[in-house]
Amino acid sequence: MNQIDQVLTSLRRVIRAIDLHSKQLVKTASVTGPQLRLLQLIRSQPGGTVKELADAMSLSQATVTSIMDRLESRGLIVRVRSQTDKRKIHPQLTDSGSALLDTAPTPLQDSFVRKFDQLQSWEQHMIIASLQRVAEMMDAEAIDASPFLDIGSLDRTEALEQPEAGDNK
């Protein structure tokens, strides 16, 4: 296999691993990766505002609000208005949201972060530089992206409404 094929095969494997993990997450926990991450942040940052959660996720407030809409409609969170500043909303987990977090699989990026942290500093910098270069070569450096290992939009309702049964690509 030539070097170009090796690069493209490696990229395809990364994309495929993310896709398979995302589908498994939706199938087992009925949430997308960003939804799971938001639930985790709400648990770890009690009293956090939508703005603080959006900043922590590297997403816009509008995107986080959209994800919260889905979580609230499923009874996983409630929104509580601040007593001191009525403009601020503090999402809180419901018992169902807590239960889901207790049984949800580990997000793919958690495993990646653990392994990446074990690398030497020079290896980490080499990987970062290489991936940034690959993004540039694919004319993707200007694409807005957040640090989630997930495929597709950040809140795929169609995946929750109609899981792909028997999909074992």
Spell out the domains of the chain, with CATH numbers in brackets: 9-158 (1.10.10.10)
**Tell me: the pLDDT tens digits for 64-96?**
999 999 999 999 999 998 888 888 889 999 999
Measured distance CA(114)–CA(116) in Å, rounded: 6
Within 10 Å of residue 159's Cβ, how many Cβ atoms? 20
- Pick from 98, 99, 128, 101: nearest CA to 112: 128
**Tell me: the pLDDT tens digits for 114-134?**
999 999 999 999 999 999 999
Q: What contacts 24+ positions apart, CB below 8 Å, involve 44-48?
A: 46/92, 47/90, 48/90, 48/91
- H or E, element range at 159: helix 157-161
Measured distance CA(20)–CA(45) in Å, rounded: 29
- Answer for the pair 147, 27: CB distance below 8 angstroms, yes or no: no
pLDDT, the chain, mean? 84
